[in-house]
Amino acid sequence: MSSAAVLRAANFAALKHVNQRRKVGDIPYINHPIGVANYLTEVGKVEDPIAIQAALLHDTVEDTDTTFEELLEIFGEEVTNVVREVTDNKDLTKTERKKAQVEHAKVCSTAAKLVKLCDKLYNLKDILSNPPTFWSAERCQGYFVWSYNVIEGIRGTNAPLEAALDELFQKSFTMNGTTYPALPKTDLKEFLQGYYKSLDGVDD
């Protein structure tokens, strides 16, 4: 593994996300891409430097002023292409982006699928341990159902990561003294459609 390339990506991400904080937990945003990359290596046992760099950089274009041209110049075509694969199109509505991710994930490169698995693992762990106070319980469950659908489309990518995600899907979270199963005990396809509808006009 090229440690210099990975450190360069970590430093770049830290500089780009320097003034951002995560909405869940109000922690420095850089914790997220570093955590995603850590799951990739620690849980997934992935040593591919392209995937690890992409994990560190995966939100730079979507959430900062970074451009793909900038990534291409610094990190090269392979890394940039993976970041491109995992970057949502902000010209679409939130609902459209969620639907697109379910379909697009199925045809992504292996490196992009690995980043998606780790990104979901990090976000779902966050919700379980610290459910967003600005979300309803149903929205939290909706995120789990949507994530489950994304993961179902890319199974066979990395067994340890998928097993870790399956464990999360069996867990529960607590909001305002009430405990809810991560995946609601109802028709998940129907619940997913309700989740999509609930996102209309939502920004967070």
Q: How far apart are CA 151 and CA 165, in angstroms?
A: 9
User: Of 149, 148, 83, which is closest to residue 115 (Cα–Cα)?
Assistant: 83
Instruction: Provide Rg for the chain, Cα atoms.
Output: 17
List 63, 70, 88, 96, catalytic entry: 63
Which stretches of 156-204 are assigned E, i.e. beta strand? 172-175, 178-181
62 counts as catalytic: yes
Cβ neighbors of 17 (< 8 A, separation 6 or more) are: 28, 29, 30, 33, 59, 60, 63, 64
203 counts as catalytic: no
List 42, 62, 162, 190, catalytic entry: 62
Q: How far apart are CA 121 and CA 127, in angstroms?
A: 10
Give the residue numbers marked as catalytic: 62-63
